[in-house]
């Protein structure tokens, strides 16, 4: 009864605090929007990634009937028409200045430079007619082999150019290739991979709201007033925890919905994602309580909570992957130093659920780790807050 | 014999080398308004914090109906309602929400807490503000609400720490009347550094200074202890010194029972059974010493006089 009253009171206070409300609910949505602008290029096809510069020096060839054949132009047209799921695969740009094209490559504004030689048409024609001494044309591809986009574009082009040449020479295909993508990959953009991490990041705002809520109770002496009543410390802490979990429960579908609006391609269960989020909110309450122990006012609570939240979120790999830092191997499972942080498992679980469409069984390890770590963080926060704040009231 | 509701025995509290409260022993009787009078820093708030269990004493004990407060169960603790000196409210809850919430924390059902909250808001003229958030109320209204927060659970003992501090005149009258109305049905402990407040509302007054209980009695008995009769305060033109002051006191000794000369304030204070009747003779005597009265005030003894007699200082010093 008292717990519910405290939960209700905390939610009312949060709701009537526009700044906190905006922080918890609006900021993650804005963040998703900004992330979309920066990274969501999936709906523009691979063309956004696979920008191909082409120097076409082909002079053409005269066919037996006297007609001119421009095989170079035909190849360029063929490349432009290649599509995947209705979207162009290549972003083709014709260039005339080879040096300028190389500079573009160096600046990583294009994936590779394709050079069509002057004898491209003639060589193809000679080979197709069986002219003695005729050899296939030499097409050059220039790019940065360390670039994944280069490797990707090169593998596509290699096959397509060969196919084009074989058709032009009248040869028949001996092997037919089909390309399929793993579920949740291929058409996924950086945005799609990033959304689960952003949802995790959003939930972690609970660290700040918890820290501010608890510091206010102390600074405004309402904690002292509560101590005069029949309410126990556990009533207060459980009540506040439940309120923050409700905030997380509201926030996850909101952030998820916003991501869908921006084109996020979901493959998993929102319910499972919410379970992951709820577990993370428990840990976040614990972190918020720890931050509240060392803050003397609202501002300090927000700052301290913010630092804890950002450091945890970044180290968890929610925003970008962290380098390997193994500390142990248990039952064949490599334990990274980041694995002691609940957000690490939340990010991994959220990504596997939403991006790769995995179920509860597949993320059992992450769920177990989160339950253990979240309870641990919550207990640490509760004990520390009781010792440092409640006993001195 | 009056029923003892709350009792302190040798209650002591230190903050480092400072002794905030020393060997405080007193009894509060059922249905009385018990005043704690003393200057700021005298140890009043520390005393009541120990009485309601917010602060653990270094020595001594507090009992409510014989049960030590430190071991008190919920039921015993709920017998006390405390209104702190500072305004302690949840800024973004409405008046009614605050009262309902705190009532529930004391174990009332939501419905009972709401009903009780509405009654209390009505009693202190805050009904029309019931749905206003506390942060939007004036200071006086916040103080009234602060007082009501101590009463939601209908406690047997109400502890009010400086309830009139920071109140506008209108709110002060309301609060004072309200405390007096409470006195008929509850035991009220009021701390104050305002002698008028203590005099008007308290049945018994404990004067405390430097953490020690100096005296405890009814206001009338305390005032009588200073001396019978009225007090005439005469502001003097011209400067006084120690010698002229002594000369005046000797000259007036045959006319009145007590005189005091405050050289710094150029003030002559005369206490006599018929001070007004003796006034012409006093003024003539002053003229004979070459002094003129610039202002004459006649008043009754106050608790301030008691405090001055006990400590040699004024309450506000």
Of B156, B157, B215, B185, residue with least CA distance to B26: B215
User: Does pLDDT of B81 surpass 90?
Assistant: yes
All residues of chain B having their beta carbon less than 8 Å from the beta carbon of residue A221 are 84, 86, 88
All residues of chain A having their beta carbon less than 8 Å from the beta carbon of residue B77 are 228, 230
User: Does pLDDT of B190 surpass 80?
Assistant: yes
> Are B133 and A16 in contact (CB < 8 Å)?
yes
Q: What is the mean pLDDT of chain B?
A: 86
All residues of chain B having their beta carbon less than 8 Å from the beta carbon of residue A2 are 104-105
User: Does pLDDT of B4 surpass 70?
Assistant: yes
Higher local confidence (pLDDT), A88 or A180: A88
**Assigned superfamily of B4-224:** P-loop containing nucleotide triphosphate hydrolases (3.40.50.300)
Select from B77, B104, B151 the residue whose CB has the most chain A CBs within 10 Å, as the one to mutate to test that interface: B104
Select from B75, B81, B95, B101 the residue whose CB has the most chain A CBs within 10 Å, as the one to mutate to test that interface: B101
All residues of chain A having their beta carbon less than 8 Å from the beta carbon of residue B105 are 2, 5, 226, 229-231
Q: Between the CA atoms of B224, B227, B228 and B230, what dihedral angle is there, to the nearest 10 degrees? A: -110
Q: What is the pLDDT of residue A392?
A: 63
Q: For residue range A225-283, what is the model confidence (pLDDT) as tens digits?
A: 998 898 888 899 999 999 999 999 998 888 888 888 888 888 889 999 999 999 999 99
All residues of chain A having their beta carbon less than 8 Å from the beta carbon of residue B153 are 229
> Are A231 and B105 in contact (CB < 8 Å)?
yes
User: Does pLDDT of A45 surpass 70?
Assistant: no
- Nearest neighbour of A220 by CB, restricted to B80, B82, B88: B88
Ranges in chain B annotated CATH 3.30.70.100: 228-300
Q: For residue range A56-74, what is the model confidence (pLDDT) as tens digits?
A: 999 999 988 888 999 999 9
Percentages helix, strand, coil for chain A, rounded to the nearest 5? 60, 10, 30
Q: What is the pLDDT of residue B54?
A: 83
Q: What is the mean pLDDT of residues A275-304?
A: 93
Q: What is the mean pLDDT of chain A?
A: 86
Of B238, B229, B237, residue with least CA distance to B259: B229
User: Does pLDDT of B274 surpass 70?
Assistant: yes
What dotted CATH number matches B228-300?
Answer: 3.30.70.100
Q: What DSSP designation does B212 have?
A: E
What confidence tier does A133 reach under pLDDT thresholds 50, 70, 90? confident
Question: Does B92 contact A at CB distance below 8 Å?
Answer: yes
Q: What is the pLDDT of residue A364?
A: 93
**Separation CA A142–CA A150 (nearest Å):** 9
Lowest mean pLDDT among A208-217, A315-324, B4-13, B70-79: B70-79
Angular region, B139: left φ>0, alpha ψ -120 to 50, beta rest? alpha
What confidence tier does B231 reach under pLDDT thresholds 50, 70, 90? confident
**Separation CA B235–CA B238 (nearest Å):** 10
The domain segmentation of chain A, as residue ranges, is 2-40+189-390, 46-169
User: Does pLDDT of A48 surpass 80?
Assistant: no
What confidence tier does B264 reach under pLDDT thresholds 50, 70, 90? low
Give the E-state strand segments of chain B in sequence order: 4-15, 18-29, 33-37, 59-64, 67-68, 80-83, 157-161, 187-192, 204-209, 212-217, 230-237, 258-262, 267-272, 292-299
All residues of chain B having their beta carbon less than 8 Å from the beta carbon of residue A229 are 78, 102, 105-106, 153
In B, minimum Cα distance to A233 occurs at B105
> Are B54 and A393 in contact (CB < 8 Å)?
yes
> Residue B176 belongs to what H/E stretch?
helix B169-183
- Nearest neighbour of A5 by CB, restricted to B89, B101, B153: B101
Q: What is the pLDDT of residue A279?
A: 94
- For the beta carbon of residue B195, count every other beta carbon within 10 angstroms: 22
What confidence tier does B149 reach under pLDDT thresholds 50, 70, 90? very high
What confidence tier does B223 reach under pLDDT thresholds 50, 70, 90? confident
If you average pLDDT over each of A1-10, A188-197, A259-268, B303-312, which comes out highest? A1-10
If you average pLDDT over each of A176-180, B111-115, B195-199, which comes out highest? B111-115
> Are A226 and B133 in contact (CB < 8 Å)?
no
What dotted CATH number matches A46-169?
Answer: 3.40.1710
Helix pair angle (B139-148, B110-123), 10° resolution:
130
Q: What is the mean pLDDT of residues A17-26?
A: 81
Cα torsion A7, A8, A11, A13: sign: negative
Q: For residue range B244-263, what is the model confidence (pLDDT) as tens digits?
A: 777 777 777 777 666 666 66
In B, minimum Cα distance to A15 occurs at B92
Q: What is the pLDDT of residue A332?
A: 78
């Amino acid at each position: 009864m008292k717990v519910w009253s405290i939960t209700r009171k905390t939610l009312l206070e949060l709701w009537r605090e526009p700044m906190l409300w905006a922080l918890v609910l609006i900021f993650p949505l804005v963040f998703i929007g900004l992330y979309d602008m920066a990274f969501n290029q999936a709906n523009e096809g691979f063309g956004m990634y696979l920008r191909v510069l082409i120097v076409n020096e082909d002079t053409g060839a005269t066919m037996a009937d006297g007609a001119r054949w421009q095989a170079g132009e035909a190849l360029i047209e063929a490349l432009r028409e290649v599509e995947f799921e209705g979207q162009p695969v290549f972003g083709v740009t014709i260039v005339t200045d080879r040096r300028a094209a190389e500079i573009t490559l160096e600046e990583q504004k294009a994936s590779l430079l394709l050079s069509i030689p002057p004898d491209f048409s003639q060589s193809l024609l000679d080979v197709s007619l069986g002219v003695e001494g005729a050899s296939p044309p030499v097409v050059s591809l220039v790019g940065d082999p360390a670039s994944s986009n280069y490797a990707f574009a090169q593998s596509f082009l290699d096959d397509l150019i060969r196919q084009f040449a074989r058709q032009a020479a009248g040869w028949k295909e001996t092997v037919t290739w089909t390309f399929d993508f793993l579920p949740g990959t291929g058409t996924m953009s950086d945005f799609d991979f990033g959304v689960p991490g952003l949802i995790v990041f959003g939930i972690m705002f609970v660290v700040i709201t918890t820290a501010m809520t608890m510091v206010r109770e102390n600074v405004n002496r309402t904690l002292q007033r509560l101590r005069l009543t029949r309410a126990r410390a556990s009533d207060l802490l459980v009540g506040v925890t439940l309120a923050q979990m409700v905030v997380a429960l509201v926030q996850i579908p909101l952030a998820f919905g916003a991501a869908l609006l921006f084109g996020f391609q979901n493959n998993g269960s929102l319910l499972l994602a919410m379970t992951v989020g709820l577990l993370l909110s428990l840990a976040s309450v614990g972190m918020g309580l720890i931050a509240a122990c060392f803050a003397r006012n609202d501002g300090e609570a927000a700052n301290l909570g913010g630092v804890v939240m950002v450091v945890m979120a970044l180290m968890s790999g929610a925003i970008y992957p962290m380098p390997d830092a193994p500390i142990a191997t248990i039952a064949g499972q490599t334990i990274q130093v980041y694995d002691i942080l609940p957000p690490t498992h939340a990010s991994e679980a959220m990504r596997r659920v939403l991006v790769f469409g995995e179920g509860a069984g597949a993320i059992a390890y992450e769920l177990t780790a989160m339950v253990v770590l979240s309870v641990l963080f919550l207990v640490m926060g509760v004990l520390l807050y009781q010792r440092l704040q409640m006993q001195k009231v | 014999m009056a029923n003892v509701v709350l009792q302190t025995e040798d209650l002591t509290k230190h903050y480092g080398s400072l002794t905030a409260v020393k060997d405080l022993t007193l009894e509060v009787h059922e249905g009385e308004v018990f005043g704690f009078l003393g200057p700021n820093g005298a140890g009043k708030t520390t005393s009541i914090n120990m009485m309601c269990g917010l602060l653990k004493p270094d020595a001594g004990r507090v009992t409510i109906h014989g049960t030590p407060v430190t071991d008190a169960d919920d039921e015993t603790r709920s017998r006390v309602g405390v209104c702190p000196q500072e305004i302690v409210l949840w800024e973004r809850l409405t008046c009614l929400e605050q009262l309902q919430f705190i009532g529930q924390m004391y174990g009332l059902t939501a419905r009972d807490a709401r009903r009780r909250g509405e009654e209390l808001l009505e009693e202190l003229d805050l009904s029309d503000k019931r749905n206003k958030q506390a942060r939007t109320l004036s200071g006086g209204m916040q103080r009234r609400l602060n007082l009501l927060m101590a009463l939601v659970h209908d406690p047997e003992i109400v502890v009010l720490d400086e309830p009139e501090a920071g109140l506008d005149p209108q709110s002060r009258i309301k609060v004072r009347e309200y405390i007096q109305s409470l006195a008929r049905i509850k035991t009220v402990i009021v701390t104050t550094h305002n002698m008028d407040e203590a005099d008007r509302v308290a049945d018994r007054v404990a004067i405390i200074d430097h953490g020690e209980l100096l005296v405890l009695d009814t206001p009338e008995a305390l005032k009588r202890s200073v001396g019978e009769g009225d007090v005439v305060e005469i502001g003097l033109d011209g400067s006084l010194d120690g010698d002229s002051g002594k000369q005046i006191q000797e000259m007036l000794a045959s006319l009145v029972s007590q005189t005091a000369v405050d050289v710094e304030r150029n003030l002559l204070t005369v206490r006599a059974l018929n001070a007004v009747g003796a006034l012409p003779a006093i003024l003539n005597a002053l003229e004979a010493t070459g002094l003129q009265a610039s202002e004459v005030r006649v008043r009754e003894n106050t608790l301030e006089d008691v405090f001055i007699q006990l400590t040699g200082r004024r309450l506000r010093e």
